[in-house]
């Protein structure tokens, strides 16, 4: 059996699946979790991978699966908290049930998994958590306020835990992926209550402005997740994708007024094709996300 083992949540597709493949390719054992076991075929060709069924919103299941993974491999060295989904739409039109569901998965799920593994890491003399946040935790975007806030919570938790758990040799790293070609988009939960026509043109303008952008392949994030899990030193944050780094740089150099007006304009004005092409080139993505935008816009009135 290999010497290192990683436990990864949300591995049926996208960044989670690519992360499983990347760790396995580096010779690691992988405990891969997913809610739907029929999707386990996606990693059936990887001999060092074992799949566990897990819904991170189920606390009892989190505890039992964590114990089962530890028993199966003897020791877990790294835990990657990747499970999550995106909820979008104006806050006014978003039900409290949707908001609570977003937090149950994206925030409370991360907390539950960390609580399940902290004792194991502490008794083992150390370990590493890699928590997947989002570019939206560095730069909050309109229409994605609930999702952004959940990812800000993950970032805040990670920073605090990296300090709190340091006496036990436990490290916490945070990864902030930019736009990646992932099924998280097709699984997005749209705001479901109120009069959607009030916000329809603003939602259409903003989501349309993303349509011609280029996305990163999920393997880009997987490489940074592996680096976050394995590198020594004082680097606590990783930002996969040139789009993420570019936007954070723009936010830093632009005045608050300029940044605010640019964001408001994305709601008030139809997308400018020339600007879209320029931004897409600058961001350096590889996969068109037009189909993603079409899926987002469906049913927006």
d(CA 301, CA 293): 14
d(CA 120, CA 68): 12
282: tokens are 């600058």
| Contacting residues for 170 by C-beta, under 8 A, at least 6 apart | 118, 121, 122, 126, 127, 128, 129
Residue with tokens 């990646």: 180
DSSP state of 48: T
Mark whether 147 is an active-site residue: yes
Q: Is 274 helix (H, G, I), strand (E, B) or coil?
A: helix
Other Cβ atoms less than 10 A from the Cβ of 199: the count is 21
Mark whether 85 is an active-site residue: no
Please give the C-alpha separations between residue 31 and each of 5, 57, 214, 229, 269, in angstroms, as whole numbers.
Answer: 7, 18, 31, 15, 46
DSSP state of 104: I
Q: Is 143 helix (H, G, I), strand (E, B) or coil?
A: coil
47: tokens are 């001999």
Selected catalytic residue, list 22, 147, 176, 238? 147
Mark whether 151 is an active-site residue: yes
222: tokens are 């997987």
Selected catalytic residue, list 22, 88, 112, 133? 133
Selected catalytic residue, list 151, 176, 209, 280? 151
Please give the C-alpha separations between residue 207 and each of 93, 95, 121, 211, in angstroms, as whole numbers.
Answer: 16, 20, 42, 7
105: tokens are 């998965």
The set of catalytic residues is 133, 147, 151
């Amino acid at each position: 059996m290999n010497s290192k083992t990683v436990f990864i949540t949300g591995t049926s597709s996208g960044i989670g699946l690519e992360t499983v493949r990347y760790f396995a390719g580096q010779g690691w054992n992988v405990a891969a979790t997913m809610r739907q076991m029929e999707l386990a075929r996606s990693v059936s060709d990887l001999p060092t991978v074992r799949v566990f069924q897990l819904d991170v919103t189920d606390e009892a299941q989190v505890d039992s699966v964590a114990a089962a993974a530890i028993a199966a491999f003897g020791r877990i060295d790294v835990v990657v908290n990747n499970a999550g989904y995106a909820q979008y739409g104006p806050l006014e039109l978003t039900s409290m049930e949707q908001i609570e569901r977003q937090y149950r998965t994206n925030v409370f799920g991360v907390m539950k998994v960390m609580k399940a593994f902290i004792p194991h890491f502490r008794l083992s003399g150390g370990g590493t958590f890699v928590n997947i946040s989002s570019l939206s935790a560095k730069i909050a975007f309109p229409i994605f306020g609930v999702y952004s806030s959940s990812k800000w919570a993950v970032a805040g938790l990670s920073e605090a835990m990296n300090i709190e758990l340091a006496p036990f040799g436990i490290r916490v790293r945070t990864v902030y992926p930019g736009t990646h070609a992932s099924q998280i988009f097709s699984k997005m939960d749209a705001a479901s209550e109120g009069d959607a026509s009030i916000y329809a043109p603003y939602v259409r303008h903003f989501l349309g402005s993303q349509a011609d952008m280029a996305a990163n392949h999920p393997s880009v994030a997987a490489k940074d997740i592996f680096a976050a899990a394995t590198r020594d030193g004082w680097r606590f944050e990783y930002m996969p994708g040139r789009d993420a780094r570019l936007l954070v740089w723009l936010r830093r150099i632009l005045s608050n007024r300029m940044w605010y007006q640019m964001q408001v304009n994305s709601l008030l004005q139809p997308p400018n094709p020339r600007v879209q092409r320029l931004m897409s080139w600058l961001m350096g993505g590889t996969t068109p996300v037009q189909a993603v935008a079409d899926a987002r816009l469906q049913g927006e009135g």
